[in-house]
Amino acid sequence: MPVGYFSLILHAHLPFVRHPEYPEFLEEDWFYEAITEVYLPLIHIFQNLHERGARPRLAMNVSPPLCEMLADKLLEERYTRHLENLLELARKEEVRVREEAPDFYDAARMYVDNLGAALDLWNNKYGRNLINAFRQLQEEGVLEIITCCATHGFLPLISTKEARRAQIQIAVANYKKHFHRQPRGIWLAECAYEPGIEHLLKESGIEYFIGDSHAILYGDPRPRFGVHAPIVCPNGVAVFARDVETSQQVWSAEVGYPGNGAYREFYRDVGWDLPIEYLRPHLHKDGARRHLGLKYHRITGRTVPGDKKEPYVPNWAREKAAEDATDFVRKRIEQAYRLRDGFGGHPPFVAAPYDAELYGHWWFEGPSFIDYVFRKIHFDQNEIEAITPGDFLDARIPIQIQQPTASSWGENGYYKVWINEGNSWMYPYQHDAERKMTELADYYHHPNEIEWRILNQLARELLLAQSSDWAFQIYQGTTVQYSSRRFQSHIHRFNLLAKMIDTKEFNHDLLAEIERRDNIFAEIDYRVYRSK
Amino acid sequence: MSKKEKDLREEPQTENNENALSDEATGEVLETDPEPISSAEMLRAEEETLSAEPEIPQALGQAEMATEETGEESDEIEDPIFRELAEPKLPELPKENRARLLMQSPTRIQFYWSVKHNPFQTLQKAIGNTGSYTLVVKLVNQTNGREEIFPVEAEGSWWFNVESNSVYRAEIGFYAPNRPFVRVMFSNALETPRRNPSPRQATDADWAVTAMEFANVLDATGYSQDAFEVAMAGDDRDRAEDATRNAFSQFIGDPKGSDDLEGIPMEEIRFALLAIASGFSLEDLRGHISAALLTLLEKNADKLTPENALAALNEHFDVSMEEVEEGEEVIGEAVYGLSLVHFPRSSRKRRTSPRTLLPKGIAPELERKISPVSSLRPV
C-alpha cells in the first residue's frame, strides 16, 4: 500500500461557440487555441507516457459542449484552416526573426516545430477527431473520463428540479454517445453543489462528483480525514474534495509555479507587437488585432512591465518545468507522509482538480509539467500512487457517510460570481424558460414531427442559455458584450419557438435556421423535462 | 431604524392571522385595473430595490460586423430570418407571478418577485376597504422565527443580508398596523449553509473525531482560521457556550450582556471577538456576522476595543496576543487562467500549545490526550 494517493483531475470545458452564420468569428478562436495549446499536447503526452510504460493515470472531464465542438464538422474544417494559417505565419516569422531579431529565434523556431507537429497529429495521427483520441486513452487505462453538467449549467441557480435533472441526464446521454459507456463521475459546473443534487446524480447512475474543500470540511458530521479521503452522501454518491495545497502550488498567481520568470509571458503576443500590414493575411477579415499565439517573451519578473520583458528561452522554460515537477512530487510525498502519520496510518487521498486550459493556454509549459510529474511518479518513487476517484471506489476502502454543504470553487466559495448586481437580471428570464419548458414537455405527449423538432430545439436553447460561462464572463468583465448577447440570443430564440408552438404558426425556415446554428446535442429528447 | 420600520417589525405575524389570497408564486389572482402605488416609503423602497429592468449592455451588432467584413453576407442581412436572429430582443418580462429566492452566499440572498394582477384590486375584492394596507415583502427566517418587512412595489428585486445555517422564505403580501397580514404569494424555501465546520462528530466510532483532531485536519488543509475556532471551542459544547457567553459579557462590560445572545450561534460570537481582538472594526464585520449580532455590538460601540476583546478571550479561552496577530501568508483568489478559484484565508496563527486549546477548566488528563495542532506539519 502506498503512503498516499494522488489524483490529478482536469476539467476541460469551453462554452459552445459555433457561428455558421459567419465565415469567421473571433470567439471561436477560444476553441482553436485550446486544441493547439492544450488538448493536442495533453493527448500526445498521455499517449507517449502510456507507450513508454510510465502508466499515467488521471481523471479528466471533457465537458459535453466541448465534446460536441470536437465532433463538429464545421469547426473541424475551420480549425484546420486556423492551424494552417498559424503555421504559415510561424514559418514567415522564423525567417524574419533570424534576420531582424535573433534573440527571438529560438522561440520562433519552437513555434514552427510545435505547430508543424500539431498539424501532423491533427491530420494524420488523430484523423481530426480528438474524441476518438480521448476515448482511446480511456480504453487504454490512462484516463477516467468523467462528464459535466450538459452545458455547464450552475445547478443551484437553476429553478426547477426538472431543469436540473435535464442538465445531468442530457450530459450522461451525450457522454454515452461519445465514449460508448456510462460515466462514473461528474464535474459539477464550478463545483457548485447544494444538498439534494446528489439525488439527481444517483438517478443518472453517477457514482461520484468533485466538490470544493468546504463542501466536505463544513459538512455534517465532521469528516474524520478532512478533504484527504472522500465522503459518501447518505444516498451513496461519493464526493472527492479539492486539496488546497496542490491548488495553490500550481494555480495561485501569488505563489504558483506559472509565475516564474523563465516561463512564457502570456500577454505579449505578435498579434499586438508586429505591424498590422505584415499581420493582415493572418488576421480575420475585419483586420482587427488579436492574440495569435506566437509569444516571444518570458515573464522575466512579476513586476517587470510589459515592454521590459526579456526574450523567451525554450530550454530554460523546459528545465524549469522539470524542476517544478520535481518539487511538486517531492511535496506530494512529504504531504502524504505527514497526513498518513496524522491519520493513524490511513493513506490520504489528495484530489488535485484544475481547469485543463490552465495547462498550455495560460501556463504554456503546463503540459510539460504534467509530463514530468507522471514520469517522476512512475520512475523515481514508490510512496505515492496516481489513481482516479473511480479507482479509489473500486478499492472498497471504507468511506465515511456525511452530508456535504452548499459550496462552489469560485471566489469566496459560494455563488457570488454567478449571481451579483451585474448579472442577476438573467435569472428571471432563465427561470421563466425553465418553467415553460416543463409545461410544454408535460403537455406534448404525442407531438407531430415539427412540434417534436421545436420542442427539442427549445430544450437546446434553454440549455445554452443556462451555461454558467455567460454570467461568469459578465462578472469578470471579459467579453461582456458577447456573453450578454449569447444569453439574450438563446432566450430570444426560446421565446420565438415557444410562440411558434403555442400559436401553431410554424415558420419552417426560421426553425431550420435556429437548428442549423444551435446544433448541440443532436440526440436530445425534450421528454427529459417532464415532471412525471 | 425608523419608527415605521420598528412598527412593522413588531406587528405580530402568525399563520393564523394571515389571509392568504394565493399560496403559490404562480397562482392566479383576480384581474383588475391597476391602482397607483405611491408613498414616501414606496419611493424609499424603490431606491433600495434593484431595478427589475435588466441593464443589459448593448452587444456588438454582428449584422453590421458582417457587412463590414465581406460583401457576401449582404444578402443574408436582407434575409428577415437572418435579421431576426442577428438582433436578439430580450423583452420586458411578461406579467407573471414570480417569487424566487436565490443564494449568493451564506449571508446574502436575492429575492425577485412580480405579481401578475394588480394586488390592491384583488385585496379590495377580498376584504373591501384596503385602507392603510401596504404591499410589502416579508422575509421569514424559519429557523429562528425572525421576520423582516419592507414596503415594495408589485415587481422588483432585493438583496438581503441574512444569517447562515437558516431556512428562509419570502412572502409578498399586505401589511397594515393592527390588521392581519394578507399573503399574496410566497417563494421557494432557501437554506443558507453553515459557513464553518459542523460542531457534530460522527456517532460511528470509526469516524468520530475530537475537536483537537479535527483542528489538526483543518490546519493541514489550509483552513487555519477554522482550526483555531474549532480548537478554541473544544468538544464540550456546554462549556464552550458558557465560556463564550461569559467572554461576551466581560467584553461589553455588562454581566447580563449575554442575555441578548439568544439565537446567535456561539461560533459567530467567538469569531467576532477574535476579529475585533485582531484589530478589525465593526464595519469590517458587516456582512460577515448576522444582523442581530451586529446590532448588539453597535449598541456597545464604545467598548469594542481590541484590548477588551483580547482580555475577554484571554480570561475565558486563554487566547494570547500572539495568537490573534496576523500570522501566516494570506492567499487570495487571484489565479492564473479564467476560473476565480477560492482559497481559504489563513491569516491567523495556529494554536501551538495543547494547553491553550480548550476553555479553561478542562481536566488535565484529557488535555494530555490531545495532540498539538502542528502535529501534521513536517518535522
- Higher-pLDDT residue of B75 and A419 is A419
Residue A244 CA to its chain's centroid (Å): 19
Q: What's residue A384's pLDDT?
A: 98
- Higher-pLDDT residue of B290 and B43 is B290
Question: Hey, are the CB atoms on A414 and B26 less than 8 Å from each other?
Answer: no
Collapsing DSSP states into helix, strand and coil, what is residue B158? strand
**For chain B, percent of residues with pLDDT exceeding 70:** 64
**A-chain residues within 8 Å CB-CB of B201?**
221-222
Question: Hey, are the CB atoms on A247 and B343 less than 8 Å from each other?
Answer: yes
Q: What's residue B286's pLDDT?
A: 80
Q: B120: distance to nearest CA of chain A, Å?
A: 23
DSSP secondary structure, A226-240, as one string: TTSS-EE-TTS-EEE
Question: Hey, are the CB atoms on A245 and B202 less than 8 Å from each other?
Answer: no
What lies within 8 Å, CB to CB, of A143 at 6+ separation is: A46, A58, A59, A60, A134, A137
What is the 8-class DSSP label of residue A357?
Answer: G
Distance CA(A474)–CA(A418), nearest Å, equals 9
Question: Hey, are the CB atoms on B217 and A226 less than 8 Å from each other?
Answer: yes
- Higher-pLDDT residue of A174 and B253 is A174
Distance CA(A321)–CA(A341), nearest Å, equals 30
Q: What is the mean pLDDT of residues A12-37?
A: 96
Question: How high is the ipTM of this complex?
Answer: 0.96
CA nearest to B374 within chain A: A342
Q: Quickly state the pLDDT bin for B345 (edges 50, 70, 90).
A: low
Q: Which contacts qualify for A276-280: CB closer than 8 Å, 24 or more apart?
A: A279/A89
Distance CA(A250)–CA(B357), nearest Å, equals 33
Q: What's residue B335's pLDDT?
A: 57
Distance CA(A335)–CA(A331), nearest Å, equals 6
C-alpha to C-alpha distances, A84 to A32, A90, A377, A447, B158, nearest whole angstrom: 12, 10, 36, 46, 52
Q: Quickly state the pLDDT bin for B77 (edges 50, 70, 90).
A: low
**A interface test, pick of B335, B347, B375, B377 with most A CB neighbours within 10 Å:** B335
Collapsing DSSP states into helix, strand and coil, what is residue A19? coil
Q: What is the mean pLDDT of residues B124-148?
A: 91
Highest-scoring range by mean pLDDT, B19-28, B83-92, B327-336: B83-92
Q: What's residue B324's pLDDT?
A: 62
Q: What's residue B74's pLDDT?
A: 47
**B interface test, pick of A11, A217, A333 with most B CB neighbours within 10 Å:** A217
Residue range A252-283, pLDDT digits in tens: 877 899 999 999 999 999 999 999 999 999 99
Q: Is it the case that residue A295 has pLDDT exceeding 60?
A: yes
Dihedral (C-alpha) B238, B240, B243, B247: value to the nearest 10 degrees?
-130
Q: Is it the case that residue B197 has pLDDT exceeding 70?
A: yes
Q: What's residue A327's pLDDT?
A: 97
CA nearest to B105 within chain A: A414
On the CB side of A238, how many CA atoms lie within 13 Å of its CA?
A: 20
Q: What's residue A462's pLDDT?
A: 98
Question: Hey, are the CB atoms on A218 and B331 less than 8 Å from each other?
Answer: no
Q: Is it the case that residue A356 has pLDDT exceeding 90?
A: yes
Quote the cell numbers at residue A147: 462528464
Residue range A450-501, pLDDT digits in tens: 999 999 999 999 999 999 999 999 999 989 999 999 999 999 999 999 999 9
**B-chain residues within 8 Å CB-CB of A255?**
329, 331
Q: What's residue B336's pLDDT?
A: 60
Q: A95: distance to nearest CA of chain B, Å?
A: 30
Count of CB atoms within 10 A of residue A527's CB? 16
Determine how β-strand B147-151 pairs with β-strand B134-141. Answer: antiparallel
Question: Hey, are the CB atoms on B88 and A489 less than 8 Å from each other?
Answer: yes
Q: A358: distance to nearest CA of chain B, Å?
A: 6
**A-chain residues within 8 Å CB-CB of B56?**
425, 484, 488
> Do A336 and A3 form a contact (C-beta atoms < 8 A)?
yes
Q: What's residue A207's pLDDT?
A: 98
Give yes or no for a cis peptide into B378 (omega within 30° of 0): no
Q: What's residue B60's pLDDT?
A: 32
Question: Hey, are the CB atoms on B378 and A248 less than 8 Å from each other?
Answer: no
Question: Hey, are the CB atoms on B106 and A414 less than 8 Å from each other?
Answer: yes
Quote the cell numbers at residue A202: 444517483
Distance CA(A113)–CA(A103), nearest Å, equals 17
Residue range A98-131, pLDDT digits in tens: 999 999 999 999 999 999 999 999 999 999 999 9
C-alpha to C-alpha distances, A468 to A266, A410, B137, nearest whole angstrom: 25, 12, 29
Q: Is it the case that residue A445 has pLDDT exceeding 90?
A: yes
Count of CB atoms within 10 A of residue A277's CB? 8
Residue range A196-246, pLDDT digits in tens: 999 999 999 999 999 999 999 999 999 999 999 999 999 999 999 999 999
Distance CA(A466)–CA(A144), nearest Å, equals 26
Over its C-alpha atoms, chain A yields an Rg (Å, rounded) of 24
**B-chain residues within 8 Å CB-CB of A21?**
62, 66, 76, 82, 85-86
CA nearest to B102 within chain A: A157
Highest-scoring range by mean pLDDT, A150-154, B214-218, B226-230, B276-280: A150-154
The answer for B54, left when phi > 0, alpha when psi is -120 to 50, beta otherwise, is beta
Q: What's residue B89's pLDDT?
A: 80
Q: Can you point out the beta strands (E) in chain B?
A: 98-105, 108-114, 134-141, 147-151, 155-161, 166-175, 182-186, 190-192
Q: What is the mean pLDDT of residues B156-180?
A: 94
At B68, which helix (H) or strand (E)?
helix B62-69
Question: Hey, are the CB atoms on A341 and B217 less than 8 Å from each other?
Answer: no
Question: Hey, are the CB atoms on A357 and B102 less than 8 Å from each other?
Answer: no
Quote the cell numbers at residue B240: 464552550
What integer best gives the mean pLDDT of chain A?
Answer: 97
CA nearest to B216 within chain A: A342
b (16+ CB within 10 A) / e for B194-206? bbbbbbebbeeee
Question: Hey, are the CB atoms on A428 and B206 less than 8 Å from each other?
Answer: no
Q: What is the mean pLDDT of residues A512-526?
A: 98
Q: A312: distance to nearest CA of chain B, Å?
A: 19
Of B294, B286, B234, whose CA–CA distance to B269 is shortest?
Answer: B294
Q: What is the mean pLDDT of residues A76-85?
A: 98
Q: What's residue B274's pLDDT?
A: 86
Give the helix, strand, coil percentages of chain A, each rounded to 5: 55, 10, 35
CA nearest to B68 within chain A: A286
pTM (predicted TM-score): 0.87
**A-chain residues within 8 Å CB-CB of B55?**
425
Distance CA(A338)–CA(B230), nearest Å, equals 21
Question: Hey, are the CB atoms on A220 and B222 less than 8 Å from each other?
Answer: no
Residue range A303-335, pLDDT digits in tens: 999 999 999 999 999 999 999 999 999 999 999
Q: Which residues are bridge partners to A297 per DSSP?
A: A311
DSSP secondary structure, B229-244, as one string: HHHHH-S-HHHHHHHH
Quote the cell numbers at residue B166: 437558516
Highest-scoring range by mean pLDDT, B22-36, B87-101, B185-199: B185-199
Residue range A337-346, pLDDT digits in tens: 999 999 999 9
Q: What's residue B100's pLDDT?
A: 98
Distance CA(B183)–CA(B160), nearest Å, equals 20
- Higher-pLDDT residue of B144 and B109 is B109
Question: Hey, are the CB atoms on B335 and A398 less than 8 Å from each other?
Answer: no
Q: What's residue B337's pLDDT?
A: 59
Question: Hey, are the CB atoms on B342 and A411 less than 8 Å from each other?
Answer: yes
Q: What's residue B340's pLDDT?
A: 62
Q: Point out the residue among B53, B204, B336 whose CB comes nearest to the CB of A358.
A: B336
Distance CA(A440)–CA(A527), nearest Å, equals 9
Q: Quickly state the pLDDT bin for A507 (edges 50, 70, 90).
A: very high
Count of CB atoms within 10 A of residue A85's CB? 15
End-to-end Cα, chain A, rounded Å: 48
Where do we find the cell 490512462?
Answer: A142
Distance CA(B159)–CA(B162), nearest Å, equals 9
In sign, the C-alpha dihedral spanning B53, B58, B59, B64 is positive
